[in-house]
A and B are shown apart, each in its own frame.
Chain A
């Protein structure tokens, strides 16, 4: 076990220090988006705000749901619900790598005493029509962060270019605290020594949701929900409201993920569902460009230039 554990920050201290650090860099500290997302990237504060010419800086914790990753609380490294700390800054600052390394020091990682690497990792989300170049960041061989310069979102060139930094909070805290199971992470510790671990907070959650995701969720209801949300999204877009429309995209994504976990989407249907979500997501980005960024006829213009 690493000697790092003694004065290591708790899980909530890691979060608070990251918030404080990125606040000091001028970021808007948002609270988690109140809709199911598979990654911090999918929250509208990243996906939609990455578009357009305006300066934008934000940092937020985001709970992420990946139903198929559930392991009933029995695997020390895998969760169906976990937390990311998401940073998005547009335009990307010139000293962003230095700032990122400083954020690691802020949570108690002495970067001089470890091997921190930026290892090539290109990001692509066909569902969002998005891609970017960057790295996964390793500390002593452990991947703790995704670091990406967005080049395109929703089929639109990002100009200026935003940089996204997504920390895996559990991984990072496991490293800082020197523990080998996510459930052993110290979440909070009172002055009287009373301690709450990640297991105290979330183990039951993992057990119940794994059972729900894999065994219980009503598939007929979910299929209907997907169709209803798709229709709702299109109707909302017709009203020129990309933000609420995007909520329906997120609902569709999550519903699809649940159906996937239930094992009721055959391989051939799979591609069809992904395409339907992609169509909606791109339509929301186009609508956002038109109604929020202010490019009238963004959709047609985009087709013309491709």
Chain B
């Protein structure tokens, strides 16, 4: 075993985007480990560092020399490797070339009573320092970026330009360059706090040297520092103050600074008259500030995270406050302008907003959603009063898209409409539905709270999905610009909340409305692909909810796909199987056997006169089960249907045990085929038991 040293490698860059940096930092240890392993360099532990301007890895216990390795590979048998004259065949030559050895050096050895050729090679020990340039360059190139770029005249690509490299093996510089950056021992400092940077003598000293530059070199550490300072500010402000730190904004802020300093700032109280959602949007989305709340209501305070020198905190706070004041001035102006007209007045202007090029404007969408919502209300047998509210909410739902506030602050769509509706004297449920109809907006978000919002959300989402499928704009693996997957999950969640609406009916209505409006498409193709889409989403959703995959497939195979029905059946099937594990395992084996043996074309009109005892018993059970299953399904009692099927287990087992199906008497054989068909048909409307795995863990 040779001596070990520490390896320090820093890639110095122009500012890397916050989320890309987070992902790359998480992947860096694996990338470095594989690069070293591939070069046969042994090493101990490693630490990873990153700031917007640097990504670094310090690897401890790196061997100065790689171990010498002897490798032996078994090749073809002698009979294949040499021809009759004893000369090597193509097979032997190819094998030798593949292993990088001369064909003459192949050895013949006996193994398991036969002779084979073997190739041996030795990989000599190498000095690590000589291997590192290629290893480290490989590390730079292996870091994955969602978007990468070129700069100047260099052929290399990276997330943003690479400007310096530190590569130290012990106290030795690893000779390496990348896109004009030549590795050395100099690291750049923080732009303001330590602009001169510093030279690092030895790899061991990397972390200390960077800290000496007042840089906080790890994401987690910057995050903890920010969170702690925010808590201290909350405490200083006194009782009732809490800051909101959404994960997305926090991640950005953590990766927008090398040395974060949270600072407290404020805005004029008069702006609190503006709906707080706009203020928060301006702060979080545009400026990456953290808003402060007092007793649940927005306060006129916010937290900035600075990357500057805290001796000049006053400058920095003043500048930020002026930016916020200007934005809030705009927001207040827009809000007050918007309020000068009732929300209804904006509906006509939806002509100006395109929903989708081939599907027309938001005005047209509004008209379609109104018609679809009316149909859904009928289907759900809503009271006239509620149906009236749904109709009103549908008419106004998109009107805020042409208001100044939403044009400027897009994330408050719906919410502003709700404020404007209330201000215009609309019903409270109508106003709430306008805000709610975009829900669920992300995974885990709530569905609309009231029935009016749910009906509206359902109509809006079904319209969007059907329209885009009708014109063939299906979501792909990487692109789902209309968030159709999320819309479908939303539809399913809303239906599961207890709305008595048929999804299939809603889809057919939505497609019919598109046809009424003259959008050209093939309705049956669209219907089929929309159905597939929902079925796929449903599978994903149920699987994530812990339902077993084979139960989902078995239920879907019976031809039902209304989400509520599918879910109820899958759950009942899973429960029934857990309760009667053995019975269901046997039943699915018997079902599969019957299904494999039967001749589906033979029909199921058996002749009882030809039965033996076990056949007669099975036939009686089938008759009974058929009646019970039909009654159970008519009464939506799926567990009872499963129980009726479970009762077939003993008779079918008895039948298989006592009866030779492929009897020489062709009449008997045909009759038994018919009996098997009758057996299989009882299952048809319940679940395809052939898809149930017989082993349940």
Interface hits, A134-167 → B, CB 8 Å = 135, 139-142, 149, 151, 159-161, 163
**Which A residues touch B160, using CB under 8 A?**
133
Q: Report whether A268 and B308 are in contact in the complex, using a CB–CB cutoff of 8 Å.
A: no
Judged by a CB distance under 8 angstroms, whether A208 is at the interface is no
The residue on B at minimum CB distance from A93 is B152
Q: Report whether A77 and B330 are in contact in the complex, using a CB–CB cutoff of 8 Å.
A: yes
Kindly provide the distance from the CB of B252 to the nearest chain A CB, expressed in whole angstroms. Answer: 9
Judged by a CB distance under 8 angstroms, whether A112 is at the interface is yes
Judged by a CB distance under 8 angstroms, whether A97 is at the interface is yes
**Which A residues touch B14, using CB under 8 A?**
97, 118
Chain B 334-357, CB-CB to A under 8 Å as 1, else 0, gives 000000000000000001111001
Judged by a CB distance under 8 angstroms, whether B651 is at the interface is no
Q: Report whether A112 and B161 are in contact in the complex, using a CB–CB cutoff of 8 Å.
A: no
Q: Report whether A113 and B151 are in contact in the complex, using a CB–CB cutoff of 8 Å.
A: no
Q: Report whether A91 and B322 are in contact in the complex, using a CB–CB cutoff of 8 Å.
A: no
Interface hits, B123-166 → A, CB 8 Å = 147, 149-153, 160-161, 163
Judged by a CB distance under 8 angstroms, whether A271 is at the interface is yes
Kindly provide the distance from the CB of B631 to the nearest chain A CB, expressed in whole angstroms. Answer: 55
**Which A residues touch B361, using CB under 8 A?**
267-268
The residue on A at minimum CB distance from B355 is A267
Q: Report whether B152 and A91 are in contact in the complex, using a CB–CB cutoff of 8 Å.
A: yes
Q: Which of B17, B306, B316, B326 has a CB less than 8 Å from the CB of A120? A: B17
**Which A residues touch B309, using CB under 8 A?**
112-113
Q: Given A114-B319, A120-B18, A94–B312 Cβ distance below 8 Å?
A: no
**Which B residues touch A139, using CB under 8 A?**
319
Q: Which of A75, A149, A270 has a CB less than 8 Å from the CB of B354? A: A270
Q: Report whether B192 and A112 are in contact in the complex, using a CB–CB cutoff of 8 Å.
A: yes
A117 to B161, CA, bound (A): 16
**Which B residues touch A111, using CB under 8 A?**
191-192
Q: Report whether B326 and A76 are in contact in the complex, using a CB–CB cutoff of 8 Å.
A: yes
Kindly provide the distance from the CB of B192 to the nearest chain A CB, expressed in whole angstroms. Answer: 5
Q: Which of B256, B312, B315, B354 has a CB less than 8 Å from the CB of A271? A: B354
Q: Which of B152, B315, B360 has a CB less than 8 Å from the CB of A140? A: B315
Q: Report whether A91 and B153 are in contact in the complex, using a CB–CB cutoff of 8 Å.
A: yes
Judged by a CB distance under 8 angstroms, whether B323 is at the interface is yes
Q: Report whether A160 and B319 are in contact in the complex, using a CB–CB cutoff of 8 Å.
A: no
Q: Report whether B308 and A115 are in contact in the complex, using a CB–CB cutoff of 8 Å.
A: yes
Q: Which of B152, B163, B307, B360 has a CB less than 8 Å from the CB of A160? A: B152
A117 to B257, CA, bound (A): 8
**Which B residues touch A77, using CB under 8 A?**
326, 329-330
Q: Given A149-B151, A160-B152, A116–B351 Cβ distance below 8 Å?
A: no
A75 to B288, CA, bound (A): 24
Q: Report whether A149 and B161 are in contact in the complex, using a CB–CB cutoff of 8 Å.
A: yes
Kindly provide the distance from the CB of A11 to the nearest chain B CB, expressed in whole angstroms. Answer: 18
**Which A residues touch B330, using CB under 8 A?**
75, 77
Q: Which of B256, B304, B306, B360 has a CB less than 8 Å from the CB of A119? A: B256
**Which A residues touch B353, using CB under 8 A?**
267
Judged by a CB distance under 8 angstroms, whether B628 is at the interface is no
Q: Report whether B318 and A122 are in contact in the complex, using a CB–CB cutoff of 8 Å.
A: no
Q: Report whether B152 and A161 are in contact in the complex, using a CB–CB cutoff of 8 Å.
A: yes
Judged by a CB distance under 8 angstroms, whether A24 is at the interface is no
Query: Count the B residues whose beta carbon is within 8 Å of the partner chain — how many?
Result: 47
Q: Report whether B326 and A2 are in contact in the complex, using a CB–CB cutoff of 8 Å.
A: no
Q: Given A111-B192, A267-B354, A117–B316 Cβ distance below 8 Å?
A: no
Q: Report whether B152 and A267 are in contact in the complex, using a CB–CB cutoff of 8 Å.
A: no
Q: Report whether B319 and A142 are in contact in the complex, using a CB–CB cutoff of 8 Å.
A: yes
Interface SS of A by simple majority? mixed
Judged by a CB distance under 8 angstroms, whether B15 is at the interface is yes
Q: Report whether A151 and B150 are in contact in the complex, using a CB–CB cutoff of 8 Å.
A: yes
The residue on B at minimum CB distance from A77 is B326
Judged by a CB distance under 8 angstroms, whether B180 is at the interface is yes
Chain B 166-194, CB-CB to A under 8 Å as 1, else 0, gives 00000000000000100000000001100
Q: Which of B153, B307, B324 has a CB less than 8 Å from the CB of A115? A: B307
Q: Report whether B147 and A133 are in contact in the complex, using a CB–CB cutoff of 8 Å.
A: yes
Judged by a CB distance under 8 angstroms, whether A175 is at the interface is yes
Q: Report whether A2 and B319 are in contact in the complex, using a CB–CB cutoff of 8 Å.
A: yes
**Which B residues touch A270, using CB under 8 A?**
354
Q: Report whether B15 and A120 are in contact in the complex, using a CB–CB cutoff of 8 Å.
A: yes
Judged by a CB distance under 8 angstroms, whether A16 is at the interface is no
Judged by a CB distance under 8 angstroms, whether A197 is at the interface is no
Q: Given A112-B309, A149-B161, A76–B329 Cβ distance below 8 Å?
A: yes
Q: Given A117-B307, A267-B351, A180–B319 Cβ distance below 8 Å?
A: no
Judged by a CB distance under 8 angstroms, whether B198 is at the interface is no
**Which B residues touch A142, using CB under 8 A?**
319, 322-323
A120 to B149, CA, bound (A): 13
Q: Report whether B360 and A2 are in contact in the complex, using a CB–CB cutoff of 8 Å.
A: no
**Which A residues touch B320, using CB under 8 A?**
140-141
Judged by a CB distance under 8 angstroms, whether B264 is at the interface is no
Judged by a CB distance under 8 angstroms, whether A92 is at the interface is yes
Q: Report whether B333 and A75 are in contact in the complex, using a CB–CB cutoff of 8 Å.
A: yes
Q: Report whether B152 and A151 are in contact in the complex, using a CB–CB cutoff of 8 Å.
A: no
Judged by a CB distance under 8 angstroms, whether A101 is at the interface is yes
Judged by a CB distance under 8 angstroms, whether A7 is at the interface is no
Interface hits, A197-228 → B, CB 8 Å = none
Q: Report whether B150 and A161 are in contact in the complex, using a CB–CB cutoff of 8 Å.
A: yes
Judged by a CB distance under 8 angstroms, whether B502 is at the interface is no
**Which A residues touch B287, using CB under 8 A?**
141
Q: Given A2-B318, A135-B15, A141-B320, A113–B312 Cβ distance below 8 Å?
A: yes
Judged by a CB distance under 8 angstroms, whether B325 is at the interface is yes
Judged by a CB distance under 8 angstroms, whether A266 is at the interface is yes
The residue on B at minimum CB distance from A140 is B319
A180 to B330, CA, bound (A): 13
**Which B residues touch A76, using CB under 8 A?**
326, 329
**Which A residues touch B150, using CB under 8 A?**
149, 151, 159, 161
**Which B residues touch A116, using CB under 8 A?**
191-192, 308
**Which B residues touch A113, using CB under 8 A?**
308-309, 312, 315
A114 to B323, CA, bound (A): 14
Q: Report whether B15 and A141 are in contact in the complex, using a CB–CB cutoff of 8 Å.
A: no
Q: Report whether B315 and A133 are in contact in the complex, using a CB–CB cutoff of 8 Å.
A: no
A91 to B151, CA, bound (A): 8
The residue on B at minimum CB distance from A95 is B163
**Which B residues touch A135, using CB under 8 A?**
15
Q: Report whether A94 and B152 are in contact in the complex, using a CB–CB cutoff of 8 Å.
A: yes
A165 to B672, CA, bound (A): 84
The residue on B at minimum CB distance from A119 is B256
Q: Given A141-B304, A267-B361, A133–B326 Cβ distance below 8 Å?
A: no
A116 to B309, CA, bound (A): 11
The residue on B at minimum CB distance from A179 is B322
Kindly provide the distance from the CB of B313 to the nearest chain A CB, expressed in whole angstroms. Answer: 9
Chain B 266-303, CB-CB to A under 8 Å as 1, else 0, gives 00000000000000000000010100000000000000
Interface hits, B12-32 → A, CB 8 Å = 14-15, 17-18
Q: Report whether B312 and A114 are in contact in the complex, using a CB–CB cutoff of 8 Å.
A: yes
Q: Which of B147, B257, B325, B357 has a CB less than 8 Å from the CB of A268? A: B357
A271 to B306, CA, bound (A): 41
Q: Given A140-B316, A267-B352, A268-B360, A117–B149 Cβ distance below 8 Å?
A: no
The residue on A at minimum CB distance from B149 is A133
Q: Which of A91, A160, A266 has a CB less than 8 Å from the CB of B351? A: A266
Kindly provide the distance from the CB of A97 to the nearest chain B CB, expressed in whole angstroms. Answer: 6
Kindly provide the distance from the CB of A50 to the nearest chain B CB, expressed in whole angstroms. Answer: 13
A112 to B617, CA, bound (A): 93
Q: Report whether B149 and A149 are in contact in the complex, using a CB–CB cutoff of 8 Å.
A: yes
The residue on A at minimum CB distance from B153 is A160
Q: Report whether B318 and A140 are in contact in the complex, using a CB–CB cutoff of 8 Å.
A: yes
Max chain B Cβ within 10 angstroms of own Cβ: one of A94, A116, A122, A132: A94
Kindly provide the distance from the CB of A246 to the nearest chain B CB, expressed in whole angstroms. Answer: 25
A132 to B149, CA, bound (A): 8
Could you list some 5 contacts between A and B, CB below 8 A? A2-B322, A77-B326, A141-B323, A149-B149, A268-B361
A2-B318, A92-B151 given. 5 additional CB < 8 A pairs?
Answer: A101-B191, A113-B312, A118-B52, A149-B151, A159-B153
Closest 4 CB pairs of A and B: A140-B319, A115-B308, A120-B17, A118-B15
